[in-house]
Amino acid sequence: MRNSVISSNSQTYENDVLKSSMPVAVYFYSEDCPHCTVFEPVFKRASEMYGDNMKFVKIFRQHNRELAESLNIKSSPTVLFFRDGVEVCSRLNGYISMKELREAIEGIIGGWCINRQRQKIYCDVLILGGGPAGLSSAIYTGRAKLFTVVLDEGITGGQAATTFHVANYPGTNGVVRGLDLMENMKKQALDFGAIVEDMKKIVNIELDGEQKLVETEDADYYARVLIIATGAEPRKLPAEGEKEFRGRGVHYCAACDGALYQDANLVVVGGGNSAVEEAVFLTRYAKHVTIVHQFDHFQASKIAQEEVFKNPAISIIWNSEVRKINGDGFIRSVTVENLKTGELTEIEADGLFVYIGMQPRTEMFRGKVQLNDQGYIITDEDMRTNIPGVFAAGDVRNKKIRQIATATADGVIAGLMAERYINERAGGH
């Protein structure tokens, strides 16, 4: 298989992409982009898996601005797909999971997949998810001399790895890059003997019986204990045009894409801490920021609210939701509905940043473990689910506070309780 990603630019773009005899995935990236740092190995791994059927090209957006602008690229990372010189399928941008990328690639090349010799792997503890919760569990179970395997459908690190600056994690000196923090956790888990396998596509889960079975495309994992730590992801805006304009004005990361909007008019959707804090952050670049919130008050902390209220570059539209995104190749305005009067108003906007909460990655567990109405896994304080031998930790479970510190605490508890569960089954020996 081909396993190299071609570095292209404005001069070589036509030959590398438009004149290619095979489909092409084109990845535009930037410096100082947390999502790019996380996505880079994902894209490289995809090139190793699918290189016989698709060409993989990357372009540094900051050195090829005219090309990026001609393609209406305003977000990093952004992945475009071409066949016979024409862009096909939907673009991917922001936090791009391996699952999303693979689905797009296989859709373009006709569902081609890799046939490998299947393996059977037996372990004491199998952890699904390599974020703070999953790695913390692995540190504790590995240290307890339990054979531990961590599986992640993407690159290990989870949401935390995409956080540019972490300033509130206990014990850190000032601020730390999320990616660095997660690399430290991964190294600890590996040093204690855990095996960490990323880019694993899970195709089936069986939780009945003493042995829990997780099937990936190339291996069957049998475990005495399963810890679910698959985390959550940003909830997409339920508005007409969101998918079409994603990466063309619709964003989910101000730290990644805010600098693109010098002297622009921006809209921020949401009313929690993320929304109000990022609205203030965006005023570093934007001429004006309008917050659209469905209620008549914020859910953010008082300190965060005060920052918004005293900022003259921010205005607020209460009791309203964005219904439609308007533009021609790129956002020009958004249509907002007042929830009390039903009145529709069009607001000029060069960009839209969305912070309306998270949604758990639990679809594969529906009907297998108990979930609440929002899809989060229900556990007790010991991280136990309704199924013996199955635990859940971190943002994937039903709880009020979701921070890196609380995810690691969940992971520690799950790891210790997994050890206790195994020891009890072995009669304490």
Rounded CA-CA distance 224/122 in Å is 9
Do the two domains 6-108 and 119-233+358-425 of this chain adopt the same fold? no
Token code pair at residue 311:
């900022």
Classify strands 265-269 and 288-292 as parallel, antiparallel or unpaired. Answer: parallel
In the chain, where are the structural domains located? 6-108, 119-233+358-425, 242-354
Rounded CA-CA distance 406/34 in Å is 22
State in words which class domain 6-108 has. alpha beta
Q: What is the DSSP letter of 73?
A: -
On the 0-12 / 13-18 / 19+ scale of CB atoms within 10 A, 242 is: middle
State in words which class domain 119-233+358-425 has. alpha beta
Count other Cβ atoms within 10 Å, centred on residue 41.
Answer: 15
| Positions marked catalytic | 253, 256-257
> Which CATH number is associated with domain 242-354?
3.50.50.60
pLDDT in tens, the chain (429 residues): 455 899 999 999 999 999 999 999 999 998 877 778 778 888 998 898 889 899 999 999 989 999 998 998 877 889 999 999 999 888 888 778 778 888 889 888 875 444 456 899 999 999 999 999 999 999 999 999 999 999 998 778 887 777 766 778 888 877 788 888 999 999 999 999 999 998 888 999 999 989 999 999 889 999 999 999 999 888 899 999 998 888 778 988 887 778 889 999 999 999 998 899 999 999 999 999 999 999 999 999 999 999 999 999 999 999 999 999 999 878 999 999 999 999 999 999 999 999 998 899 999 999 999 999 999 999 999 999 999 999 999 999 999 888 899 999 999 999 999 999 999 988 654
Q: Which residues, at least 6 apart from 75, have a Cβ–Cβ distance to it below 8 Å?
A: 93, 94, 247, 248, 251, 256, 257, 260
pLDDT digits (tens, 9 = 90+) for 216-270: 988 999 999 999 999 988 889 999 999 888 877 898 888 777 888 999 999 999 9
pLDDT at 396: 97
Quote the pTM value.
Answer: 0.76
